[in-house]
Structure formats: structure tokens, C-alpha cells
Structure 1
Amino acid sequence: MSLSVELKDLEVLTTNAKQIQDDVLKEILTLNANTEYLKRFLDGSSDKELFKKNVPVVSYNDVKPYIERVANGEPSDVISGGTITRFVQSTGTSGGIHKIFPVNDKYIENLGYLLAVSSLITSKHFSDKVDEKGKKMAFLYNRLESKTPSGLALSSSFTSYFMSDYFKNRSSKCNSEYTSPDQVILCPDNNQSVYCHLLCGLSQREKVVGVSATFAHALIKAINALQIYWKELSSNIRSGHVSEWITDLDCKNAVSAILGGPDPELADVIEQECSHKSWEGIITRLWPKAKFIECIVTGQMAQYIPTLDFYSNKLPIVSMVYGSSESIFGVNVDPLSKPQDVSYTFLPNISYFEFLPIDHEEDMNTIVDLVGVKLGCYYETVVTSYFGLHRYLIGDILQVTGFYNNTPQFRFVRRKNIVLSVNSEATTEQDILKGLASATLVLESSNSMLTGFTCYADISSFPGHYVFYWELKAKDVDDVVELDENVLEECCYALEESFDALYKRLRSKEGSIGALEIKVVQQGTFDSLMEYFISKGGSVAQYKTPMCINSSETLAVLEDKVIARFYSQKSPPLNL
């Protein structure tokens, strides 16, 4: 399985978005109109207007029974006219619930196509700055697949991709685009995998032009691993032998071939750089030809931008792709845009896209097609896929920021239901990130930096209040985090000061919201949180620290690690 991709294809797609979207819907309906799910609405028709009139807009609970029936062994045509060959599973970090979705090889092709297009765009923008033979040090991870009751494979989107013939036979593999061989990516032990990624990247340090991962969190995890293992990694390079605890033989043999033998000079360089008290700029010091960081930093991943800036000497952070377990969506055609300005151009050949205005007031007739959205307006994405999702609400809120040819571009604003509230206020993901940006500026006056956070609305007592869990790390490697009470209380206030007028009125005037609290947790707490989600079926490659906590089990993981508490000591000013 392979697919030739050229940048000129993107021009054709985005110029003819309307016709392509109509063709995609026609193809989907022709394929699926006689499924048990759609037949009751369309009676076998593939007419677009009948589809819009009769097929309801749905959420996961509406289609879950149909999906589970196929997963349990009933025929694919319960929900899909094409054969379902596997299921992909969401991480559960966005809404707290693991969801499964039916797919087949076309889904894998779509994901591969998106990644190939994004790679071409990145190469185009950085080709005048880097050696053509350069490589990306990509922290990509796999995990063992599980099975549905009917025996079909169940895994994350990226595991599905890495296990596919599409990935194994990709054309770019011949060019060795990554510093790590496929055996490292496919290693199911993530600890062995990240160690070997680092070992391969260090041994080829002069070839690394970009450092990448799916999400920003995975890059931070890799830097943490480097801090733990750098002496051992250096020893491996000095001796030319991989550590004995790397027991995955395919992985170990492939990495040994890359090491090629002892390299004491390189080992000396690594030891010299990693021995510095401060790790500021460690990425550019160890990989001097690196020109960009590539990972998703929109949404809740934005919290890691200051940490990535610290470690990379503020290399450009390239956030290239937008997708989910339900569907692939779009690509960033302007990689050099600042993280806060990133917009994604939807690819009209992937799924059929509709958009529900966020102020729809339950009027589903306000839904518009992809090319019918208006500049500056906010919408929730509605997807119809080839695999059995029809007019499915994704739950992401997007804003139209412009057009690339005739195709709209969207800025990710927030997840629909990720809000904090203890009264009548609704503090959104965007509000939280704005407050976090203000608070981290205050934190810069201390010796600490924020490496992880989440929050929840505590209504166990009156008045209820917001609680933020923070994991802090000393800027200098060997230093211990010193908790400055004044600084952290001011961080509490900076968060509150960034929230909206209703929050401030309820907090400052009416007293129906209590003082915001920051609970500092032990180092490694957010790794424990990740391990908890992975134990429930999540994937390292797709893991996103949940911005808001809504389960007692997750809360227990955090509460067990709390080492200090701080409260806002003054009320935020009212907006006059």
C-alpha cells in the first residue's frame, strides 16, 4: 500500500473544495445508504438534500450501540457499507471516556496522506535552511493492539498507522527520514523506545534538522528521559554497545547497527553539554543543526510552549496537523506561524464536513457546508465519514480565520465541554490558557518552571472554588524546587484576574466563588497520571494531559501527590 503525494495536489483540492465535498458525500452515501443505520432515514437514496433533511445530528451515545454491535461480531453493514477491518480508540483524556470507532484501510491512507502533505509543507518552508540529507529525530511510539470481542484489532490511531502496510512500505522510508529505524518506533515498550530514540538521535546529532513528536507532551517526556539517562546514553556511545536492559531484540539490533562502534569523541561532547547546571537550550546544544520543533501545541498542549522554548532556545514550533480518532481534518499551510496563530486548512477529500454555529439555539437548520462558513465566526464540526459516522458532532469549537484558495482555515479554540464552573459562570479552555499564560509570567521570577497542570471545580464545600494542580521543576538541573509562597499566591491571583467578568463578580462582589487554589504536586505526578490513562487503554503517542479533571479516580491520583497548597490572597478587580 503506497500513495504518491505532491504539493500541487493541495492546490487542486483547496481550489475545488465545493465540488470535491459534494463528490465525497455522494460516494459516502452510495456506499452506506443501505446500512441498517442510514436506511431508516434515506431508504437507500444518496440524495444530498434528503440527507440534510432526514439524517439527525448525533453524538457518541447515539451511535455507540451500532458501533458495539459490529465490535461484538455483527456484520459491518449495521453501520458501514464497506468492510470494517479494525477499530481505533480515543485516549479518553478530552472527555474522560474511551470511545471506539470503526475504520478500514482508507482511514490509514487518510492519516498517511495528511502526514505526507504536512511533511512536504514543512520541507518546503525549511529547505533553504537545512541540509537536504537532514533527518528528524521523531519520538513516535507504538503499543500492543488489543482485540474486540469479534477479534478485530483495537488500538490508537497512530498504532493502527504504524502497524499498517502503508507505514511499513512508505516511499519516504527509503530516504531514512527519521533518525530512528522502524524497529524503535514499533517497540511496544515505551521506556525502551524513548531510550533508543534518544540513542539514535544522539549518535546522528549532526544530521538532525528537526525534533518532533505527535504532541508537545511527548517531547517533554523525552527531555525528562534524557535528563535521567544521559550518562548511560553517553556510555553506550563511548563503548558502541546498547544497554543490557534493552531487551527488544529487533530494536536492539537495529540501534546497534546505527551506533556502528565506539565513538568516544561524541560521548565527550554529550557529557560536556549535559553536565551544565542549566539545561536551557539543551536541544540546540546537543543538536546544533536543528531548525524547528514539530508537535501539536494547540488546545491543552499550549501549556508546554514555555518549556519547549526554554529547552530549544525558542526554535520555531511547528504545529502541522489537526485530526482525531473520528476523522482526519486538516493541515497547517503556514508552518512559521506562531503557535497562538496556527490555523488548519481542511482537506476536502477526507470526509464530508459540516459546521454548526455555536449560537445555533438547537436550530439544526443553521448548519452550513465547508465552503459556507463565514470569516470570524465560531462553529462546531460535524463529520460524515466513510466508516459509519453520519453527521457526528466532534465536540471541537473552531473559528474561521481565513481561506486558502477556496477552502476555509480554522483556529482550534477549545473542546466544547471542557469548562470549569461552580456557579453560573463558565470558564472555558481558552480562558484557562489565557490565565495560565499570565501566571507563568509571574512564575518566571522564581527558580521554577511549570511542567504540567490540570484543574477541577471543587464544590465539596461552599463556596466552591477552582483548584489547579501544578507540577514544578527547577530551571537548573541539580537544583531543588523552592516554593516561594508570595510568588505562588500571586500566580493564583494572576489566574483569577484573567477570567471573565461574571467570574470576577461572583468571586469578588457576591462571594459565591471561593479563592482559587494551586496545589503543587510531586515531580513525576503527571507521568503517573499518563500511566493511569494508558492503563485504561490510552496511547503514549496520542496522550494529552486532561485540562480539566472530572473523575474521582483521576482526582485520587493527583491528591495522593500533593505537597503544598496556595490560595489567592486578594479578589480580582471587577470589570467596570
Structure 2
Amino acid sequence: MLLLLILTLFLGTSGTIVLLFIWRGWTVERLTARCWRWWFLHVLSKQNQLRILDCDASNAHGVQEKLLLKALRGLQDTEYGKKHHFKDVADISSFKRLHPLTHYSHYKDYIQQMAQGEQNILVTGGPLALVATTGTSGLSSLVPVKASSATERFIQGTSVCLQVIQKSFPGALEKVTKFTFPPNQINSHAGIPIGSYPCATSASFLEYLYSPSPPHHPTMSHHEVLYTQILYALRDRGLMVLEANLAWHLREVFSFMETYWGSLVTDIEMGYLNPDLKLPQDTRREIEDYLLPDVGRAAELRAQFEKGFVGIAKRIWPQLQVVVAVGSGANELDLQILKDTACQGILIYSPMYYAVEGLIGVNLWPENIDPRYVMCPRSAFFEFIPLTTVKEEEPDTVCMKDVIIGEAYELVITNTDGLCRYRLGDVVRVTALHNQSPVLEFLHRKSQTLSVRGERISEDEFYRALLHTVNIWPGATLVNYCCIESGILGPFLGGSDPHYEVFIALKGVRDLSEEQRNKLDQALQDRFPIYKSFRFKGSIGPVRVHLVSHQSFFKLHVLASCISGAPLDCIQPPRTLRHRRLAECIQKQVVS
């Protein structure tokens, strides 16, 4: 204490603080990151986007109409705005009258013009990027995104969720690590970036919020990216938040960790990188300069890993408070497996409901088991198609003020990036109101509906039937799955009646009898009378169940990313495959 007083007298307060940081081994870079984090969290609390959302939600319909008219005024001088008479739109009713409901095919030619560099087509000037949608079927579309949209998504979505974390878990944002795959971005002939959402994860803006991440080189494989990111995370005993875009990715992190923990611990103990990783020398040197031998941490990790992987997250990171990853929809199985295994005892927070086309809602209740999302009235203009009218050629829509609690709807979005009355393909249920803003439960994607004779079994309904079936197979636990309508594979399946091909990874059993496999077909018949009728008539053949390894689904994910152009860690788990290459990929992985 006396030494500290003398230093303060000679060097001043600021000089003494700098010396103390150096004494603790803090570099200028780490000091800068620390200061930036303090500043960011201070600004976050002052801006209080959470309060602004509450204010918007108290007048949701008024905010929606004002947002719509402002968006259309901003687009009225574009080629699209002139064609659809945006300058004549005076209110929501006239907008619905003048503009039809749309699908992606409505915009395809316009987007092609934008990719070629033409200006003022769907948006004023040109887009910041053309972004690949992150659907679950492997098929992808490109939609325009402006810089202002990316900024608004961060302000209305990411910053609100950070405030929720800051409020629910005080101090947790001091130690956050994020697992992500670097995007492979290309440019159109006109130089417009094509691929990942600009600032979709706010990675560049939030660089200093996250703990140090390893350097990345374009030649690194997905295996090497996962390995080095996990290595950095394991070194830091004080992590308080783990984050990934989607639950399947975080589950893959722990699966990878379970397979390679011995090598990872050795690297931490010795302070060098596994020589089997074929990294460029400069990248390897930079990582090894950061590592430094840590015998104590290695011994602690080894002791915990040897006890097994149930609850491993909390045991290797004792200060861990929350895991952040979207866990609804196609990620539900992955979320449940995380809760039951690696993340047992840790709250998992599914923060946002969003699509490339726009931010839809944020989750204000991290403690809830099932994620629910308050719609953001200032993000985009939303309409809802009641499921009772969804099959009509031009179904009626309702606005936020007219939704009914407990009812399911297909979402329609109008954004500031040129998409108008766009049928998003998401089916949601309104579970409550937050002030006047609907609170949504995501149900399923329309594109994930199974139908070979018009019977229509949604992804969510099929998943429930599959879970029921697996539960009656002795000792079996569902690890992963996907489905294919037999017509996707065409001649590869011969001339049999149309049917479902189901590919599953199981834990606890190595094979299934024909009787056990037939249980899934029986479960579908019991739950869906129309399916049962077609089966009775013989116009739909029995479900065919195939066993594959869990690793097969990661390969499927990688291929889906390559086909769609969307970043790997933003691709939803492929459940109902619509692309021939994806179907052939999983078929080649069958072991039984």
C-alpha cells in the first residue's frame, strides 16, 4: 500500500494505473479492450433500447403505420416504387389495395438487375449487400440489405438482448466468448458483396466485447476453426457467457470438445498447437505466442473431462452464468440435448427471432424454458395470414392490433430494403401481448412441410411423432434427424409409391428391427387421419427409416452452406431436404 501511495505521488493516478495493468500482464491491446467494454456497457445502459421497445409496444399499431409510410416514401422514386405507385399510398388500407402479397419469384429479376450494378431498382441507390437466406432446406435466395437496416437490427435487436443479459446476469458481459465460422463472401460482377449478412452478428462492432479469438486464415478447415476457437475458450477459466448464433453450432462445439479434449488439454499444458493441424506458419506462430504453457489449467480441465460430459460447461467454467443461442424451430432438438448434457444446470437464452429479411422479435424473458419473442414494431411492417385462409390465392391479412391470442398465423413482412408484403414462410402462434405488441412462439417453416399427396405434415408435427416413436424404442435416444420426400431422389429409389425417407442418428442402440422402424409409420397414421387414409388406399408407401452417424449431419450442414452461400453458423439445421445434392449426401451416409 505504501509503494502504491509513493507511485501515485510521483506518476499521478493515470500513470500508476498503467503500471498496475503492466504488472498484471495486461498488454495495451487488452487495456484498450477493457476500456472499450466499460464504455460500451455504459452507453448501452444510457441508451436503454429496452425502454424504447416498451414505448413502441404501447402504441404498436401507430408505430407500424408510421414506419410503413416512411419506408414507402423512401422507396417511391425507385423503379419498383414507381411501378407500384408508392406515392399514392396514404395508409395501411391503400397499401394492401395497391400491392399484392408476394413471394421471392416476384423480386428475382429486380435482384438480378441490382447484382449487375443497376441503381434505384428496389432501393434508392444500391444495396450494401445481397444476402443469402438461411433456410433449412438447402435452397437459398438473395435479398438486398441496406447499411441502415444492418444498423437498425443491431440497435433494436442485439442491443436490447445485451441489455436483457446485463439486467438478468449482472457482470456477465465482462467475459463473453463467441463461437462462429468466418463467412466466405464473394462479390457480384458489379462488386456488391454476396453472402453473409453485413454485421448480422455485429462481430466487428462488438469485437472488444468478446474474449480474444484466434486468428483465422482462409485456408483453415472447419475442423481447424473449431479446434482453435475451443482452445482459446478452454484457457479462460473465468468465462461467464458462451454464445453462438444457433443451438446446433454450440452443440457441435461440445461434441467436438468431447472427441478432442485430450489433444486440446495437451496444447494448453505445453503451450503449443497440435502439429497435426496444417495451419500457415504465421497463423500458427501467432496462436502459439498467445498460448503460453498453463500446467495448472490443463490439470483442472483433464480432471473434469475424465468425469464425463454431463454438466461439463459449468464444471470447466465455474463462473458461467448463461449460454446464448437461438434454440427455437429446427434448433429445438439441439437445444434440448444441450440442456440434458453439456449445459445441464445452465440457463440457455434464445435471444432473437430474426430472418435475413428483417428482425421480428426479441426475447425479454431469458428464464423462460420455451422462448417467446416480443415483436419489434419499429423493425418492419408486419401482417398476419390466419391459417384458415392461408391456402387462398390472395388471403386476407390482419395487422398487429387484430391478432387473436392463441391463434396461429403465417407472417408477412414489408421492410425498408424493398420487399413488400413478402410472405416470409414462417408460421407462428400469438401467445400473449406485451402492451400492444404480439408475443410470438415460432412453430415451423412452411417449406419444411412434408407432403407427397397433399397430406401436409409440418416440421413440428413430424418431430413430435418421431420423438414419440424413439421413446418406445428400448434404450434409444434421438441425436439428430432429417427427412426427404421420395420424389427428391427420383430414379435412385426405383418405382415405388411416394413415401418419406427418414434419416436418424441414435444413441444407445446400434440397429433397429423392421418392426421397430414401422413404429414411426404407425405413429404418423395415429396422429394424421389424412396420412392414414392415403396409406390405407396404398397411394402413399410406408416410411423408410435409415440410421446414420451424428457426424453425417455436420457434413450435411457444410454442404447446405456451400449450396446456399449463407454462412455455416447461420444455416438452420436441414430437416426437410429439398435439394437433390443434400438428399444424395445423407443417403450416402446410411449405415443401417
- Alignment TM-score, normalising by the size of structure 1: 0.85
Other structure's SS at 1:388 match = coil
Question: Contact 1:141 / 1:188 at 8 angstroms: preserved in 2?
Answer: no
* Shift of residue 300, structure 1, vs aligned partner: 1.3
Provide the residue aligned with 2:386 in structure 1: 357
Counterpart in the other structure of 1:572: none
User: Match of 2:303, SS?
Assistant: helix
Alignment match of 1:528 (pick from 555, 560, 566): 555
Counterpart Cα distance in 1 of 2:52 and 2:577: 42
Q: CA deviation at 1:186?
A: 10
How far apart, CA to CA, are the structure 1 residues paired with 2:304 and 2:556?
31
Q: Verify the 8 A CA contact 2:137 2:577 in the aligned structure 1.
A: no
Q: 1:373-401 deviations in whole A, cap 9, x for unaligned? A: 22122221111111111111111111111
Q: CA deviation at 1:203?
A: 0.9
1:99 and 2:154 matched: no
SS in structure 2 opposite 1:150? coil
Aligned match of 2:240 in 209, 222, 241? Answer: 209
Q: How many angstroms apart in 2 are the aligned matches of 1:187 and 1:160? A: 23
Cα 1:400–1:257 shift into 2, 3 Å: farther
Matched, 1:32 2:75: yes
Separation in 2 of the partners of 1:464 and 1:306? Answer: 32
Is the contact made by 1:418 and 1:548 (CA closer than 8 Å) also made in structure 2?
Answer: yes
Match of 2:96 among 47, 52, 60: 52
Aligned AA for 2:442? F
Question: d(CA) in 1 for partners of 2:130 and 2:279?
Answer: 30
> 1:155: Cα distance to partner?
1.7
Q: CA deviation at 1:464?
A: 3.3
Say which is worse superposed, 96-105 or 462-471, in terms of deviation: 462-471
Deviation at 1:273, TM superposition (A): 2.4
- Structure-2 change in CA distance of 1:78 and 1:422 (3 Å): closer
Number of positions where the alignment pairs a residue of Structure 1 with one of Structure 2: 536
In structure 1, the residue matched to 2:107 is 63
* Aligned position for 1:9: 52
Does residue 1:345 correspond to 2:374, yes or no?
yes
Instruction: In structure 1, give the amino acid aligned to 2:242.
Output: V
User: What is the deviation of 1:63?
Assistant: 0.7
Paired residue for 1:141? Answer: 181
| Larger mean Cα displacement after TM superposition, 413-422 or 392-401 | 413-422
Residue in 1 that maps onto 2:517: 489
Give secondary structure in 1 for the equivalent of 2:341. helix
Structure 2 counterpart of 1:195, from 198, 202, 227: 227
SS at match of 1:541: helix
Alpha-carbon distance change, 160 to 132 in structure 1, aligned in 2, over 3 angstroms: closer
Are 1:125 and 2:168 an aligned pair? yes
Structure 1 runs not aligned, ≥5 long: 475-480, 565-576
Please name the residue that 2:543 is paired with: 516
Q: Is the 8 A contact 1:375 1:402 kept in 2?
A: yes
Distance across 2 between alignment mates of 1:490 and 1:53: 50
> Equivalents in 1 of 2:282, 2:178: separation in Å?
18
Superposition pairs of residues 165-564 of structure 1, within 5 angstroms: 167-170=203-206, 173-174=207-208, 176=209, 178-181=210-213, 183=215, 190-205=222-237, 207-244=238-275, 245=277, 247=279, 256=288, 259=291, 261-276=292-307, 278-308=308-338, 309-339=340-370, 342-360=371-389, 362=392, 364=394, 366-443=396-473, 445-446=474-475, 449-458=477-486, 461-473=495-507, 482-485=510-513, 488-489=516-517, 492=520, 495-496=523-524, 499-507=527-535, 509-536=536-563, 537-564=565-592
Range 39-48 or range 103-112, more displaced = 39-48
The answer (yes or no) to whether the contact 2:268–2:293 under 8 Å persists in 1 is yes
Partner of 1:411: helix, strand, or coil?
strand
Distance 1:123 1:427, change over 3 A: same
1:295, CA displacement in angstroms? 1.5
Q: Cα distance, 1:367 vs. partner? A: 1.4
CA change 1:349–1:229 in 2 (3 A) is same
- Mapped contact 2:448–2:459 kept (Cα < 8 A): yes
> Would the aligned equivalents of 1:401 and 1:411 in 2 still touch at CA under 8 Å?
yes
